[in-house]
Structure 1
């Protein structure tokens, strides 16, 4: 199983209740362990049917209402900030005890898979664009830096935030716009907890993405053509043998009438 650097722990069983008409509701307490047990956040939420009514976050020490019905409830709770903080601290202590069991998971690191690809060639006043993508890494914090001839590039660089893959890992993408120069070296430098030194990946412009796709398409067409030609040759050989049998297997028949010794038929 893969583990997020933010571990969710249910501190208490949901308080489930159901009405006579079949409606239901529940309260949930979650603990977020942010990288280590020194940084913990408690979240309480109350749900009715499929709607979340309100939520409390210990970092902000505030209750937020999501429906008009829950606004008065939230206002009443926010008038007791000391009580909210005290209740949160109780659950934080419980969270630390539970978190000790998951500490090895929190400290696990997974090295990213890094790919550099070209998405646009330079044309006139339009610059070329490269994307450096890091996939399937853990924990979440990561830094991507572009280098041109061993000098850091800060202009014309845009990056996404760390995006959750949905399977406990993360991905991130950094874009570089540039005008190519002959003989230059472009690199993507990745700094992550899974490595004790920066990981450097060099861009190879000898074969662009579009050229690579054309090469693959051409190679596939060539292989298909060879297969079709071989099939046609085999078919021709089979038909040729069927029409013109070999001499060793011919069934020889006399077309002239048989003659008797006397010369009469």
Structure 2
């Protein structure tokens, strides 16, 4: 189903502020074979009544909309015009809007980031960033060593970029062992086949970092021990010298 929306807004000036809007929505099913037109009226952002081409009449949604719906339903010329709008508005504009809506496709960009410092002993959070795609329907899956992950996967809401493209962030929280391989699989209508982006953690770097941390700790500990030993020996030597001087004075 494809939706095409047209709209108009009329506003008054103080002291009696109000906003009156109408919105025409064309729903296309199977191209132009089955078209439905909804012509909606709003007063101060609240929908009051609407015309439904499937019914052929105006329908009130609020008490305020009942007089309006009754009035428009009594206008034979207006009803004929709205019923004809399925062809004069919806089907007429379909070929002009189709290249920018139905036919428009933008392939997703995929990137994997480890959002935490790599730790082999605790949970890691790996994020698959998928952006720049259109239409918005997309499927993103995490695979660990070729097996699809489920419970440990969370996803952000679908985000609009403001340029008719979308993005989504899909996170996998998992422990990482040496030799593990992670894959972000993306399926989208703009792609002839799914995109597979692999990520292998640099376990050697993690091990080097831990080894470096251990070495630094060992060196610092050794320095403190040596300094303490030197201070102790000097203190002991000073005490021995002081005791010797006292003994000589007594003699």
3-state DSSP of counterpart to 1:117: strand
Report the Cα distance in structure 1 between the residues aligned to 2:105 and 2:163, rounded to whole angstroms: 15
- Among residues 95, 101, 104, which one is paired with 2:96 in the alignment? 101
Unaligned runs of 5+ in 2: 75-79, 207-251
Distance 2:117 2:51 in 1: 47
Contact 1:133 / 1:174 at 8 angstroms: preserved in 2? yes
- Cα deviation, residue 186, structure 1: 0.5
> CA-to-partner distance for each residue in 1:25-79, whole Å, 9 max, x for gaps?
433223256797458665544455xx313165969x99796xxxxx412467899
**Post-superposition offset of 1:144:** 0.2
Could you tell me how far apart the structure 2 residues matched to 1:197 and 1:57 are? Answer: 42
The structure showing larger relative contact order (alpha-carbon pairs under 8 Å, at least 6 residues apart) is 1
Q: Is the 8 A contact 1:37 1:96 kept in 2?
A: no
Q: CA-atom RMSD, angstroms?
A: 4.4
Is it true that 1:203 corresponds to 2:194 in the alignment?
Answer: no
Does 2:116 match 1:120? yes
Residues 77 and 120 of structure 1: CA distance in aligned 2, closer, same or farther (over 3 Å): farther
Indicate conservation of the 8 Å contact 1:142/1:191, yes or no.
Answer: yes
Q: TM-score, normalised by structure 1?
A: 0.56
Alpha-carbon distance change, 186 to 89 in structure 1, aligned in 2, over 3 angstroms: farther
CA distance in 1, matches of 2:203, 2:59: 56
Matched residue SS, 1:180: coil
> What TM-score do you get using the length of structure 2 for normalisation?
0.59
1:53 matched to 2:49? The reply is no
What whole-Å deviation, never above 9, does each CA across 1:167-205 have from its counterpart, x for those lacking one? 211111111111112112100000011111011111142
Counterparts of 1:23-102 in structure 2, within 5 Å, are: 23-31=17-25, 37=31, 42=37, 44-48=39-43, 51-54=44-47, 56=50, 71-74=62-65, 90-93=84-87, 94-102=89-97
Count of aligned pairs: 193
1:117–1:207 CA distance, 2 compared to 1 (3 A): farther
